[in-house]
């Protein structure tokens, strides 16, 4: 990762609060020139420190469905096929290769317990999946986002 100075960190923090903030307002907040903000943003994007700008959903929307984490154990040499199949499932929000008890941990989001049940059946029937262990998210106690 490229070295980040204090201005880079402040710029990133300001964008994490409001990614739609204008360059002029960011420059005023940081006490630097607009051209400096523009060039720093270009550098941060080029070096992939910033890889995109997005939308954070409100609590009512996020809490409106059912979320779960699923630990997935796969057979040897089945990882690529399992990854390919899980990538095609829209309800799989995130998939991480992990160390420990499981090979992958998936974050799932569905609209209902019935949809979660169907999705878990789909995941369990993927060739190469040996075992799944599911934990349903009851509430979010802390979310710090992706600060640096």
pLDDT above 60: residue 15: yes
> CA torsion 36→42→46→51, rounded to 10°?
110
pLDDT band of residue 54 (cuts 50, 70, 90) is confident
pLDDT in tens, 75-126: 999 999 999 999 999 999 999 999 999 999 999 999 889 999 999 999 999 9
Q: Which residue would you say has higher pLDDT here, 44 or 143? A: 44
Rg of the chain taking only CA atoms, in angstroms: 20
Provide the percentage of residues in the chain whose pLDDT is more than 90.
77
Mean pLDDT check: name the lowest of 22-26, 71-75, 113-117, 144-148: 144-148
Dihedral sign for Cα atoms in the order 124, 125, 128, 130? positive
Q: What is the mean pLDDT of the chain?
A: 90
């Amino acid at each position: 990762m490229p070295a980040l100075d204090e201005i880079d960190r402040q710029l990133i923090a300001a964008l994490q609060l409001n990614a739609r903030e204008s360059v002029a307002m960011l420059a005023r907040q940081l006490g630097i020139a607009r051209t400096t903000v523009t060039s720093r943003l270009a550098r941060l994007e080029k070096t992939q420190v910033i890889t995109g700008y997005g939308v954070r959903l409100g609590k009512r929307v996020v809490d409106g469905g059912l979320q779960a984490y699923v630990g997935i154990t796969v057979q040897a040499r089945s990882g690529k096929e399992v990854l390919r199949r899980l990538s095609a499932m829209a309800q799989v929000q995130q998939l991480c290769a992990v160390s420990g008890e499981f090979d992958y941990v998936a974050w799932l989001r569905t609209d209902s317990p019935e949809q979660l049940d169907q999705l878990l059946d789909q995941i369990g029937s993927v060739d190469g999946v040996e075992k799944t262990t599911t934990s349903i998210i009851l509430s979010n106690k802390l979310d710090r986002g992706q600060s640096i």
